[in-house]
Amino acid sequence: MSINSAMLAGVSGLVANSSALAAISDNIANVNTIAYKRNQVNFGDVVTAQSVQGLYSAGGVQGIPHAYISQQGLIQTAASPTDLAISGDGFFVATQKPTGLSPADAREFTRAGQFNVDASGFLVNDAGLYLQGWPAKSDGTFAIDPSDLSKLSSINVKNLGTAVQPTGNVGISANLDATETVSPSEATYTGAAGNSMADFAAGVAGGTQPDFTMDLNVVDSLGASHKIEIGFLKSSAAPNTWHAEIYAIPASDVDTAGPSGQIAIGDVAFNSDGSIDLADTTLFGAAGNPPVIDLAASGGAQPAWAANLGIAAQTVNLDLTNVTQQAEASTVNSVSNDGAGVGNIVGVQVDEHGVVSAIFDNSQIRKIAKVAIATFPDADGLKSVSGNAYQATLTAGPMVLKEPGNGGAGAIAPSSLEASTVDLSAEFTGLITTQRAYSASSKIITTADEMLQELIDMKR
């Protein structure tokens, strides 16, 4: 009968408003939870069939929970370099264990980016979820796959060993004095054993003293540093020309077929304006050869690193464009070198493209991994799980893995965190209206109860 339906409608109102209160309570409790997405219970009416003409049967109301997962929270600055936020669409991919992952292991998706480095070196957030990314290959690139979760692995920023950067490029800014007088020893100089500049550096009797030297430090494949010297002797054979030798100090660092430690020998030519003339320079072999120091691996074809060193072959490119011959004192202005000895990790950085890199105390930076961003056609359809995370559902649609900032995926905001989307003023207003609605629904029940009592009393 209609009175019973009215009472049941009141009961449905109590249930729906209880659900609304529960959602508001969760929101208020999580007002400071990183990347928390507010929930809301919307109301929908329930319509029942009207079987008797002229009578109305109440259907009541039902609560329809809705999670605003796709809503973007405010990005706030954080102190830690491993605190990450996503500015835009998408989620971090995370797992509940760092290693030994199989296709059966659940992958969870979260925007809670308060990642810290655990004792094993893995990036893990406060909920115990391990951040996943594409590992860096040896050439610094990444094997990006938009759908294969098995290509991802937990990002580890500690177990990297040490970093060594062998010298590959050296830039020299220097001047040779154009007014330098020709040394008396130049008349008998041949650069051969007994009168070479390399012999003089090695302390061999009869070696030729250079007019000027430039010192280079070369870092080898094991991180050790070696002194390589370029000696210059003014030539009398042609103007604007200097005899030159490249040799190691000590000479025992290299194996050569000629004088002790001598790596290369030839002439260096300059133009009439004082700039270097590499086209006519023979120090590096035939005239016009690029300025390169080539050393074979230890024990290899000479010149090579000494057999007892056990180091790899090395090619050092010399930038001599800033070497001049002017009428002023010979001097070395600067020497730049891209080599770095053994370094240990001292920090971690993440850029807006999601590239996680290790910083070493020898100023080297090594790429470790790239953070993967998962996107869904309907993010609000994801299933919420504990730890402020979500699991994929059919409602959410197919997942696609993207690079941060590409294909509609949000960019990474390093040293930042996403705030909760809860608005306290709106939630407290909802508390008031929900309480009033609950009270009103209870009045429906008491009123229907009184009417039923009147009906029962008619029998007396």
**312 and 191 fall within a common domain:** yes
Same domain for 274 and 168: yes
* Measured distance CA(347)–CA(158) in Å, rounded: 9
Q: What is the pLDDT of residue 14?
A: 87
C-alpha distances in Å from residue 164, one per residue of 344, 353, 361: 9, 25, 11
- Tokens in use for 211? 């007019």
Is the same domain home to 241 and 263? yes
Of residues 239, 289, 241, the one with CA closest to residue 264: 289
Give the closest residue to 427 by CA, choosing from 147, 57, 31, 91: 31
- Residue 174 shares a structural domain with residue 54: no
With b for 16 or more beta-carbon neighbours within 10 A and e for fewer, the 141-177 pattern comes to ebeeeeeebebbbbbbbeeeeebbbbbeebbbbbbbb
Tokens found for residue 334: 């600067």
The residue out of 290, 307, 342 marking a domain boundary is 342
Q: Give the end of a domain, one of 342, 362, 384.
A: 342
Residue 248 belongs to a domain with what CATH number? Answer: 2.60.98.20
Q: Are residues 220 and 338 in the same domain?
A: yes
Examine the domain organization and report whether 57 and 99 are in the same domain: no
Q: Are strands 254-255 and 389-391 parallel, antiparallel or unpaired?
A: unpaired
Give ∠ CA 238-243-249 in degrees, rounded to 5: 170
Are 194 and 157 part of one and the same domain?
A: no
Q: Are residues 85 and 176 in the same domain?
A: no
Largest separation between any pair of C-alpha atoms in the chain: 144
Whether residues 380 and 353 share a domain: the answer is: yes
Residues 37 and 80 in one domain: no
Q: What is the pLDDT along the chain (460 residues), one digit of tens a residue?
A: 578 777 888 788 889 888 889 999 999 999 999 999 999 998 888 877 666 676 777 777 888 888 899 999 999 999 899 999 999 999 999 999 999 888 888 899 999 999 999 988 899 999 999 999 999 988 889 999 998 998 999 999 887 777 788 999 999 999 999 999 999 999 999 988 889 999 999 998 889 999 999 999 999 999 999 999 999 999 998 899 999 999 999 999 999 988 989 999 999 999 999 999 999 999 999 999 999 999 999 989 999 999 999 999 999 999 999 999 999 999 999 999 998 887 788 889 999 999 999 888 887 888 999 999 999 999 999 999 999 999 999 999 999 999 999 999 999 999 999 999 999 999 999 999 999 988 988 888 888 888 888 888 887 6
Helix (H) or strand (E) segment spanning residue 77: strand 75-77
Asked if 274 and 323 count as a contact pair (C-beta separation under 8 A), the reply is no
Q: In the listed set 342, 377, 398, which residue is the last one of a domain according to the structure?
A: 342
| d(C-alpha 404, C-alpha 370), whole Å | 9
Contact 211, 234 (CB under 8 A): yes
Answer yes or no: do 173 and 299 share one domain: yes
Is the four-CA dihedral 298, 300, 306, 308 of positive or negative sign? positive
Give 296's DSSP letter. B
Which range of residues forms the domain containing residue 302? 164-342
Q: How many structural domains are present in the chain?
A: 3
Both 12 and 34 in one domain: the answer is yes
50 to each of 55, 222, 223, 278, how far by Cα in Å? Answer: 7, 88, 88, 100
**Structure token digits, residue 413:** 């905001």
Which pLDDT value is given to residue 405?
93
